[in-house]
Structure 1
Amino acid sequence: MKKVVVASVLAVGACTAYYLPAALALDDAQNQGAQSGQITIKDPAEYNAYTNAVGQSSPAAKASAIEQFLQQYPNSQVKEEMLEQLMAAYEQAGQADKELDAANRLLQVNPNSIRALTIVVYMEKKQTSDQAKLDDAAAKAKTALNAPKPSNLSDADFQKLKTATTPIFEDAIAVDANGKKDYKGAIEAYTAELKAYDPAQTQSGPGLLATYNLGNAYVSQDPKDLVNGVWFLTRAAQYAPAGYKDQIEKAAEYWYKKYHCAQNDTACQTNLDGYAAIQQLAKANVFPPDSYKPVAAPPPPSPQDLAHQAIASTPDLKTLALGDKEFILANGTPDDAAKVWDVLKDVTAEVPGTVVTATADSVQLAVSDDAKASNKADFTINMKTPLKEVPQAGAQVKYTATFDSYTQNPLMIILKDGEPPAAPKKPTARRPVHHPSGRK
């Protein structure tokens, strides 16, 4: 009896971001040498149907003959083998849906079939908008990564199969984690995927895409890891096709500026000091070497530092805008806040803002831009006399009142003797001028 084991159900797909690698390609002699034993078909009719099916030269004819064989002998000893060959026939015929169906049928016979798992995982992974499919692909990928060696494969051939398929399985796990914003899980899986490739394989195709996705995962997590994010985005930019290179380079440079350049350092922002050396390193290495040590920008000044700088650089604190005075009251040291309060206390001023809450006796306003954005009051106007008309929340109003007190945390500036702005005076009617002649 001729014993056939399908060595490859994987083919390179053109013009796609993901593609299946060319896995083991064993001829019949190698197949037979890989067997751990022979299966004998005792029924002559079944044997003849088997040899007829596997002997077909046309993929379509072979698939049809195998389907007929499986229908006629659903419990055959060679069912698993025939399903493997059926997947290969549909692959060669370009019938992806039927190939997937054959893979799922094979998994019912052998849930650990790496070839069947590869087909299902690969096809489900492409459905990135269907999280349930991604979840299933990730679960099957984990099964495949832990699958035992089939008895009909030698250790060497099993290792070839694992080498060819491991990146597909790790990528499916990463894509699933990324879809759920599990960036830690995505980083682990993308890293494992890159480690499964030969370095040259990371310069194009799915290896390059995994490099780019790994960089994005590092800058998407909270807190961001800009050191690793910059590395993998820069690495991806070195080998990206012309249509994507500029976009990826700009992303890498953006995050490098965030990490390396002080906020107001325009020279660093323009010249990208030290970045050219990182580009050279990233082109030569998949993972960051020990020599990759980007220098972090000095920490930005704290709100308290900014408040003190405003005090120190302003000779006359009365000239500060109301928003700056409020910032110092909220963030300054007790001494700096006291200096600003000294120029506000008992001063009567006009305060515009957005009503947050209001009663006849007191109106709470959002005055600063931050307060308005969060709809949180930062001023309280206590009225001199009860309002005749209480404003609705969200109304834009203006009151004249006298600064009375404040609390720093949370900030609330309190004014007393509040009054609506005085109504504009009506213009005095002009008296007619009488001419001596009686003419007006």
Structure 2
Amino acid sequence: MKKVVLASLLAVAGAATVIQPCFAQDAPAATPAPAAGQAGGQVQMSADEYKAYNDADTAATPAAKAAGFEAYLKAYPNSAVKQDVLQKLMFAYSGTNDPVKTLDAADRLLQVDPSNLPALTFETYLRRTAADALTDPAAKTAALDKAAGFAQTGLTATKPQNMADADFQKLKSQATVTFESAIADDDMSKKDYADAITAINTEITGAQDATQTPGPVLQDVFFLATSYMNSTPPDYLNCAWYATRAAAFAGTFAPQIQPTATYCYKKYHGKEDGYDKLQALVKTSLTPPADLGTTITPAPKPADLVANLIATTPDLATLAISDKEFVLQYGKPEDADKVFGTVKGKSTQFPDTIVVAATADQLQVSVSDDAVQSKTADFAFNFATPLKTVPAVGDKITLTGTYASYTQSPLLITMSDAAVVPKKAPAKAPVHHTTHH
């Protein structure tokens, strides 16, 4: 869910900004000097070694720096400045946009310095990026687990002895955003929404300015909203707050976020009135006020709504399909049976259903807004004649069928005599004939 939906929003800020180049300047480094012995806090080296080091360090391009430092490490594998060289090599490969070689350098650096914060940040970010591109669920989860492991190590990394506390805290605060985001991504892949909520809250609290411009952190504000929505039980109020907050600062990407925001608001409040008040509130604070639950009143309980709907509807057959589903799911058995009796045996067409599960004999699809949002099936269409072409999960198709039966919890309405309505071919442009005189 989560990365496909807002990929363009993430791209606005650019992936390279997540790994701050200032790591290279702020991290502690040795100071080589061309002499024998050691004095004055400097690492002394021979003239030949110093030249090889200095030539690599002053090379004009990242590619030349990388080549120079690789040659230096080959010639001087036990160099006193090996840690410094590996770190510069890692940043040089990053400058060439080569994630494979950047990770290789980071791996070698961590063998020398297991708590190296820049290396752990590169490991986390690049491994997470590669994981998000995978389509096999098991492989993706395993890859995200590995990225999250580096992130957890990074969160507990200790300060190098020769680095000032202020400098280390600056680096740590920058890296924490990357670490917590990767941990949350791993949690969401395993549907551990409680831990995802904790991780994202920590992330955005430490990067509040970044929640007001399109980019990776604002994207995670949206994923915080969906984590609240997918929790058990769902927390629609917090979902509405953070999704509305994300939409408020997403600029041209707001239309991708707004449906989730309004959906959660309506699920909590029951209707859309007063939503403009929430839209104004989210612009003044990243986190919701303590009294938000009373400022925005919750909707009546489903059982109360069903009772009122039954009492105020003289002809239950006139109810909209969404209202009928609501009664079937939340009403008393006798009320649910009354409502289903108004449609049983009748044939209906359902446009733009979304396939959740498919065989040649049955399609399970999402029809209602709730089912679409939760990616669950609320209708099952049974075919008397097996389908020759079985739709793929996620396809949007139009179906016809006859109401046959239903189960109340979880709600699933079964349709018989189902058929797939073929898509209409696009209209052909009119042919203009030239009249010859």
TM over 0.5: yes
- Matched residue pairs, number? 314
Cα distance in 2 between the residues matched to 1:59 and 1:25: 16
Compute the TM-score of the two structures, normalised by the length of structure 1. 0.62
Alpha-carbon offset, residue 132 of structure 1: 1.5
Contact 2:93-2:102 within 8 A present in 1 as well: yes
Structure ID, larger Rg: 1
Alpha-carbon offset, residue 16 of structure 1: 4.3
Match of 2:406 in 1: 370
Contact 1:203-1:239 within 8 A present in 2 as well: yes
Match of 2:53 among 50, 56, 59: 50
Alpha-carbon offset, residue 85 of structure 1: 0.6
**Match for 1:77: what amino acid?**
A
Match of 1:370, SS? Answer: strand
Match of 1:290 in 2: 290
Match of 2:302 in 1: 300
Alpha-carbon offset, residue 55 of structure 1: 3.0
Match of 1:158 in 2: 168
Match of 1:223, SS? Answer: coil
Match of 1:419 in 2: none
**Match for 2:285: what amino acid?**
N
**Cα-Cα RMSD:** 4.0
Contact 1:183-1:218 within 8 A present in 2 as well: yes
1:130-180 CA-to-partner distances (Å, cap 9, x unmatched) read 221110110100100110012232112111111211100000000000011
Alpha-carbon offset, residue 196 of structure 1: 1.2
Q: Determine whether 1:275 maps to 2:275.
A: yes
Aligned in 2, Cα 1:175/1:276: closer, same or farther, shift over 3 Å? same
Task: Summarize the alignment of residues 413-432 of structure 1 with structure 2, pairs less than 5 Å apart.
Answer: none
Cα distance in 2 between the residues matched to 1:260 and 1:329: 23
Alpha-carbon offset, residue 19 of structure 1: 4.3
- Structure 1 stretches of 5 or more lacking a match? 1-11, 262-268, 315-323, 341-350, 353-366, 377-394, 397-440
Match of 1:194 in 2: 204
- Structure 2 stretches of 5 or more lacking a match? 1-9, 32-39, 135-139, 316-326, 339-343, 346-402, 418-437
Aligned in 2, Cα 1:132/1:25: closer, same or farther, shift over 3 Å? closer
Match of 2:234, SS? Answer: coil
Compute the TM-score of the two structures, normalised by the length of structure 2. 0.62
Aligned in 2, Cα 1:275/1:17: closer, same or farther, shift over 3 Å? farther
Q: Determine whether 1:80 maps to 2:83.
A: yes
Q: Determine whether 1:138 maps to 2:174.
A: no
Percent identity between the aligned chains? Answer: 36
**Match for 1:284: what amino acid?**
T
Aligned in 2, Cα 1:189/1:372: closer, same or farther, shift over 3 Å? closer
Aligned in 2, Cα 1:138/1:62: closer, same or farther, shift over 3 Å? same
Cα distance in 2 between the residues matched to 1:29 and 1:309: 71
Cα distance in 1 between the residues matched to 2:24 and 2:410: 66
1:291-321 CA-to-partner distances (Å, cap 9, x unmatched) read 42321011123699589959x989xxxxxxx
Match of 2:120 in 1: 117
Alpha-carbon offset, residue 103 of structure 1: 1.0
Match of 1:247 in 2: 256
Please identify, of 297-306 and 61-70, the stretch whose mean Cα deviation from structure 2 is larger: 297-306
Alpha-carbon offset, residue 287 of structure 1: 0.8
Match of 1:53, SS? Answer: helix
Match of 1:176 among 186, 189, 193: 186
Please identify, of 113-122 and 47-56, the stretch whose mean Cα deviation from structure 2 is larger: 47-56
Alpha-carbon offset, residue 47 of structure 1: 3.4
Match of 2:62 among 44, 47, 59: 59
Cα distance in 1 between the residues matched to 2:286 and 2:197: 15
